[in-house]
A and B are shown apart, each in its own frame.
Chain A
């Protein structure tokens, strides 16, 4: 650390030598700086009053940062308040660009703020500058034990380093607590509770500096995400799935010596104060299906609760995080699509936050991937700050050409970057049906393949004994089915005769009954004719030897049935014609009926068994 502070002083020394060459018409008439050191992220808020003392109209204001600070600069924003006092809400943010003006000291990095209207001679202008730095608090001592409290050092210049003359300035350093190990004291320095105040200093030439060092206690968790990959997958079925892969390190003072569980357990508030026990993620409202896991499985130490504005997810790493310890994990959640997807000018756009849902966390390298549905076109992203953009393709369930992915990369991300960005794309709603269609057609092909397989003859040798036998068997089966259908038709004729008899008893129309008998006789003959070749085939076929007796039995049953029915028919018709006594006819018919019933049942059973052949 000592070497670092030396280097810092050295840099400033060179600055002061080179400073004399700087010429400018602008003068900073008043500047108030507030450095916030309460968390691991250093925020410097300066409000400047710039005055033009030259003759020309000035269009830009230069801000200078030493390179050591500039490399940790994560975010720089400047704004101008229209009017004074009450009108402060109408802040206009001013564009800031990195510039390299000539003739300036090389150890400084310059940013230029362009003014909305040129600053005319004699006029003054007020602007606020917010600069956010990461990795600027250095732990000292560099390693601590489990029981120690973490101390950190912050270095800066008490004077505002500026290419312009500064007339009047003050500096306030805000610390997390009043416990300060040491701080650089100048005559006008005072420590009030947790604030250190420097200044006011007056009338300082450009590039003035005096180094200050603040050594203080900070137990704030120094959680640094070395790499965060956020994947935002849009499904037009109504869901946005966010998956975030973290690889996290405790950026504070590394743990010296071992970790003692008993000390950590028995005196938790004192022992292991510098450790991180949990994080709270603030997810959008109506987040659902939240999970928290890592490479080796689910992590069961998490809690979820929500209100109308936020969903809170409190996660504990598998172990308490001490300085220098690492962990990696994944959280994922689903969001309702309608909250984030909008339509404008025939294009859809996703409007979602860029950064991570954790508070006061530093991300060294952030990759945001937006996975659009398959078939999206004309993809573009609008991010309010500079990012590296590229495109790739992701294959997920049932994708054929893959889903287009737009990849946004940014180094050093702080909570100030957690603002909305947009991804525009075109998507045809019909493409939604692609995947169900794919599934349906897949099954269709499967079934068709089965049907084709069942109906094709794939045997190689068409003349082998087993193949021929199988073919014959199939033929026999078909013949038996034909026989059965004929017998069924015969039985249907039987039913017709029965109905004609019933009609006779109701109407007494003997002629029609006789006609039915004639017709039945005719059809019996036809059917018998049809049956003959089939029976001949069955008798001759060796494959039918098993089934033949059954068929024969059925035929004999049918014949018997037919005879009995004819007998019944003629008996009733005779009785009707001769007008013989009812009782006599009934007696004769009753015995026939009984036999008929039994025969019919047996024939049906035989039909069933043959049906299963």
Chain B
């Protein structure tokens, strides 16, 4: 009997919990909810660290340095801000760029990034961490990427559930589309702007969901930060009214939306006006009119709602509705028409047009079209930047439509519009990335949740098949369903493995892309040497440092605008044009000088007080993004303003060549001469004639370049940067 007695007693009460064996564990035992919270928090922490760490490839491969072009300007301004204080920064007139015009920096930049970095710097110094401002600038983008991941978690949680939020955070932490703009050292507006964008959207959705003024206010502040950081805020100020309009049309109008939108719009607009660069655009520019229109529409709608409540008679109300709507729309149209005609409301800018019509820039604004990141996106770069998310995106949209709510509608709209913009311009992939990650996260999370719940209920049903309680009602229903699909469990397992495989491929792809493609600072070039060793081409800094040390303090450097920011930041010298491209004529003048004969160019350079001319030349190393390859854009931009420069003069049968068959004007223009001066004597590759251009793979056409008005001042060790000194004018007698 003893044996029989022992059997149930050991089975029933004790076996159910392992803690009974270790009573001390009972004290440490966490509730399921706490366990889940712990898991979630630690997963988020890991994601936070991961998002930061994956962006450090560039620091490990190269060094802690600022990348590319624009970040150098940002770095320079941040340095100025930390050294001279906010007031001086606000009133800064920079005479070192756009000579002789100068640039009012305080009024022509988005100060968000610099202020953020300076604030981090000051905080760290207050906490007694004596870090250098450069390190702060280098690590700002990864830091904000980590924060973006956290915001993505909350956004996902708001839109779907915490699982989707977690997946979204993990996806966005390593998504190449975002990493491309936020590796350590890429100290650019986009780095903080994506965080601000997502934060604004999240807070707005939260405000719409709760109808709380507090969240709407927070969203307005998020918008303010976004406006202060990046010109992309125009996307927000157009997407939000569009969203509100869609909700109105679909009959999802609610008091919550009314509170959220009005508070966000009015406060956001007032705050945004405090940014000098934006100023009164919110009430004066055509790009911001949609938001205002929807704002007024919302008031009309609310008014109608109220009247409807008062009248209580559908017939009367419909008559009233007709009158009011007609009046409102005609007043709005009239105001818009008068505003536009009188010039109070400025028309849409070229950049805005080029987003709506991808061919617009190519025909009208060559300076926008000349930038490689403004080109329409190729499929391959979608694949490169999104990988599996590209396939998960439609699936996520399906799930969103299946469980339609105010929040999912927002996400769907954000996803669709940003995907369109990403298709128009390569660099707008960045804006689409958070949406793609969130929507894909919904797909992943929902799928995996369905699969695992299938597996779990089945095993539970098997286990508790004896029980007959009310709790097993669901399970038994499932069990009966199971019988209809005998391989369901195996199928679920297989699908789970498939999802796991896809996600791991995604992680591998992201890491690979980050390490190989997006971590190059583009100032320092690295290549594999003949023996497999790493060869570093540090020619840019060599040249800039030479300028900094060995030219007079007030020397003016002429170069193509791409290098303007770098020359002022690293070379500390005055430039004629830089990456700000605010004055097309000035750039066209430089383009004209570069594409003229030497004597004509000399006159232009004299009129601009140019002391040195800097060209980038890749013929020795095979570096393809040099000035000869950009030259046609200089011709086009120059020709756009000065009709003396004609593109066909530089082409032979519509073909661009530098060899013997090149157009005579091409062979004798300033750019050609400066690039190939004494290059004809150099043997670049074994078995090839001297003067063999490795970047274009041809022997150059004009090997006997003579310079009359300029002399070679400096050429870097790999010939990538060549600097010429403009000789003083000859004595007249």
Report chain B residues within 8 Å CB of A495. 13
Contact B16 A600 (CB under 8 A): yes
The yes or no answer to A514 lying at the interface (CB within 8 A) is no
B12 with A597: CB separation less than 8 A: yes
Residue A319 contacts which of B2, B546, B725 (CB distance < 8 angstroms)?
B546
CA distance A301 to B545 in the complex (A): 14
**Interface pair B550/A326, CB less than 8 Å apart:** yes
Question: In the complex where A300-B538, A395-B128, A505-B5 touch, is A294 in contact with B32 (Cβ < 8 A)?
Answer: no
State which size class the interface on B falls in.
35 or more
Report A201-228 CB contacts with B as 1/0, cut-off 8 Å. Answer: 0000000000000000000000000000
Residues of the B chain whose Cβ atoms lie less than 8 Å from the Cβ of A491: 13
Q: Which of B1, B63, B681 contacts A505 (CB 8 A)?
A: B1
Given known pairs A259-B714, A319-B546, A608-B32, the reply for A395 and B469 (CB within 8 Å) is no
B712 in complex: contacting residue of A258, A296, A395, A596, CB < 8 Å: A258
CB of B550 within 8 A of CB of A325, answer yes
Give the shortest distance, in Å, between A533 (CB) and chain B (any CB).
25
CA distance A597 to B14 in the complex (A): 10
Q: Are A399 and B63 in contact (CB under 8 A)?
A: no
- Are A257 and B2 CB-contacts (below 8 A) given A593-B12, A600-B16? no
Complex: chain A residue closest to B541, CB-CB = A296
Residues of B within 8 A of A328 (CB): 549
Considering only residues 388-419 of chain A, those with a C-beta below 8 Å from chain B are 395-400
Residue B433 at the chain A interface, CB threshold 8 Å = no
A272 CA to B70 CA in the complex, in Å? 37
Contact A400 B128, CB 8 Å, known A262-B682, A505-B1: yes
C-alpha gap A400/B682 in the complex (Å): 60
State whether A318 touches B715 (Cβ < 8 A).
no
Could you tell me the distance between the alpha carbons of A295 and B569 in the complex, rounded to whole angstroms? 11
Q: Which residues of A contact B542 (CB under 8 A)?
A: 318-319
A397 adjacent to B32 (CB under 8 Å): no
Question: Nearest chain-A residue to B8 (Cβ)?
Answer: A593
Q: Using known A-B contacts A300-B536, A319-B546, A399-B128, determine if residue A260 contacts B541 with beta carbons closer than 8 Å.
A: no
A268 to chain B, nearest CB (A): 12
Please provide the chain B residues from 1 to 19 with a CB less than 8 Å away from any CB of chain A in the complex.
1-2, 4-6, 8-9, 11-13, 16-17
Given contacts A261-B715, A601-B16, contact A611 B2 (CB under 8 A): no
Give chain A interface residues in 511-566, CB to chain B under 8 Å: none
Q: At the interface, yes or no: A346 with Cβ under 8 Å from chain B?
A: no
Query: When the two chains form the complex, which single residue of B5, B12, B524, B715 contacts A260, counting CB atoms closer than 8 Å?
Result: B715
Rounded to whole Å, the gap between the CB of B248 and the closest CB of chain A is: 29
Task: Evaluate contact between B1 and A602: CB separation under 8 angstroms.
Answer: no
Known contacts being A601-B12, A604-B16, is A318 close to B31, with CB within 8 Å? no
Asked whether B2 lies within 8 Å of A318 as measured between CB atoms, the reply is: no
B616 to chain A, nearest CB (A): 14
Instruction: Determine whether A498 belongs to the interface, using a CB cutoff of 8 Å to chain B.
Output: yes
Binary contact readout B467-481 vs A (1 if CB under 8 angstroms, 0 otherwise) = 101010000000000
- Bound-state CA distance A597–B7 (Å) is 11
Whether, in the assembled complex, B686 has its beta carbon less than 8 Å from a beta carbon of chain A, the answer is no
Q: Which A residues touch B127, using CB under 8 A?
A: 442
Q: Mark B700-733, 1 if CB is under 8 A from A, else 0.
A: 0000000000011111110100001100000000
User: Contacts A257-B711, A260-B712 hold; do A298 and B65 have CB atoms under 8 A apart?
Assistant: yes
Residues in A with CB closer than 8 Å to B714 are: 258-259, 261, 319
Assess whether A602 is in contact with B471, with CB atoms less than 8 Å apart.
yes
| Interface residue B395 (Cβ < 8 Å from any Cβ of A) | no
Contact A602 B469 (CB under 8 A): yes
Is there an interface contact between A262 and B536, defined as CB atoms closer than 8 Å?
Answer: no
The verdict on B544 contacting chain A, using a C-beta distance below 8 Å, is: yes
For B719, the closest partner residue in chain A by CB is A261
Residue pair B681, A262 in contact (C-beta under 8 Å): yes
Instruction: Write out the residue numbers on chain A whose beta carbons fall within 8 Å of the beta carbon of B724.
Output: 258
- B466 and A598 form a contact (CB under 8 A): yes
Which residue of B2, B546, B549, B715 has the most chain A CB atoms within 10 A of its CB atom?
B549
* A258, B536: Cα distance in complex, Å: 26
Q: Given the complex of chains A and B, what is the CA–CA distance between A501 and B717 in angstroms?
A: 95
Cross-chain contact of B549 among A261, A325, A438 (Cβ < 8 A): A325
Check A398/B128 contact, CB under 8 A, given A259-B715, A296-B570, A602-B471.
yes
B546 and A318 contact, CB distance less than 8 A: yes
Docked complex Cα distance between A265 and B684 (Å): 12
**Distance (whole angstroms) from the CB of A366 to the closest CB of chain B:** 20
> Which of A265, A600, A612 interacts with B13 by CB under 8 Å?
A600
Contact B549–A327 (Cβ < 8 Å): yes
Q: Is the CB of A494 within 8 A of B13?
A: yes
**A296 and B572 alpha carbons, distance in the complex (Å):** 11
**Are the CB atoms of A294 and B31 closer together than 8 Å?**
no
Residues of A with C-beta under 8 A to B4? 586, 590
Residues of B contacting A: mostly:
mixed
Considering the complex, give the chain B residue whose CB is closest to the CB of A612.
B33
CA distance A257 to B65 in the complex (A): 34
Q: Is B310 an interface residue (CB 8 A)?
A: no
A466 to chain B, nearest CB (A): 11
| Complex CA–CA separation, A339 to B682 (angstroms) | 52
- Within B510-525, the residues touching A (CB, 8 Å) are 523-524
CA distance A133 to B332 in the complex (A): 86
Cβ contact within 8 Å between B712 and A259: yes
In the assembled complex, the CB of B397 is this many whole angstroms from the nearest CB of chain A, namely 34
Within 8 A of B (CB), among A154-209: none
In the complex, A502 has a CB within 8 A of chain B: yes
A400–B127 Cα distance when bound, in Å, is 10
Which chain B residues border A438 with CB–CB below 8 Å?
128
CB distance from B489 to the nearest CB of A (A): 23
Which of A259, A399, A400, A442 has the largest number of chain B CB atoms within 10 A?
Answer: A259
Contacts of A327 in B (CB 8 A): 545, 549
- Asked if residues B536 and A319 are in contact (CB atoms below 8 Å), the reply is no
Q: In the bound complex, what is the Cα–Cα distance between A596 and B545 (angstroms)?
A: 85
Q: B436 to chain A: closest CB distance in Å?
A: 35
Decide if B21 is an interface residue (CB 8 Å cutoff). no
Q: Is A582 positioned at the interface, with any CB of B under 8 Å from its CB?
A: yes
Indicate if B28 sits at the interface (CB-CB under 8 A).
no
Which single residue of chain A is at the shortest CB-CB distance from B537?
Answer: A300
A359-410 interface (Cβ within 8 A of B): 395-400
- Report B-chain residues with C-beta under 8 Å of the C-beta of A597: 8, 11-12
* A303 at interface, CB cutoff 8 A: no
Q: Is B678 close to A, CB under 8 A?
A: yes
CA distance in complex: A591, B678 (Å): 104
Q: Please judge, given known A-B contacts A318-B538, A593-B12, whether A297 and B63 are in contact too, CB under 8 Å.
A: yes
Instruction: Kindly state whether residue B130 has any CB partner on chain A within 8 Å.
Output: yes
Cβ–Cβ contact A259 & B713, under 8 A:
yes
* A506 in contact (CB, < 8 A): yes
Q: How far is the CB of A313 from chain B (nearest CB, A)?
A: 18
Q: Restricting to B530-552, which residues have a CB under 8 Å from any CB of A? A: 536, 538, 541-542, 544-546, 548-550
A324 CA to B551 CA in the complex, in Å? Answer: 11
A294 with B545: CB separation less than 8 A: yes
Q: Which of B542-573 contact A (CB under 8 A)?
A: 542, 544-546, 548-550, 570
Give the most central of A319, A327, A494: most B CB within 10 Å: A319
B65–A297 contact, CB under 8 A? yes
Within 8 A of B (CB), among A283-316: 294-301
A319 touching B716, Cβ below 8 Å:
yes
Are A318 and B130 touching (Cβ within 8 A)? no
Which residues of A are found within 8 Å of B65, using beta-carbon distances?
Answer: 297-298
Query: In the complex, which of the residues A295, A296, A604 has the most CB atoms of chain B within 10 Å of its own CB atom?
Result: A296
Q: Which of B9, B523, B716 contacts A498 (CB 8 A)?
A: B9
> Top 5 closest A-B pairs, CB basis?
A261-B715, A597-B12, A593-B8, A258-B712, A612-B33
A-B contact pairs, 19 of them (CB 8 A): A258-B713, A258-B714, A260-B715, A261-B712, A261-B715, A262-B681, A295-B548, A297-B523, A319-B542, A395-B128, A395-B130, A397-B128, A398-B128, A399-B128, A491-B13, A597-B8, A597-B12, A598-B469, A612-B31
Task: Taking A265-B682, A296-B544, A491-B13 as given, write out 11 further A-B residue pairs in contact, using a Cβ cutoff of 8 Å, ordered by the A residue number.
Answer: A262-B681, A296-B570, A298-B63, A298-B65, A301-B538, A326-B549, A327-B545, A397-B128, A502-B6, A593-B12, A604-B16
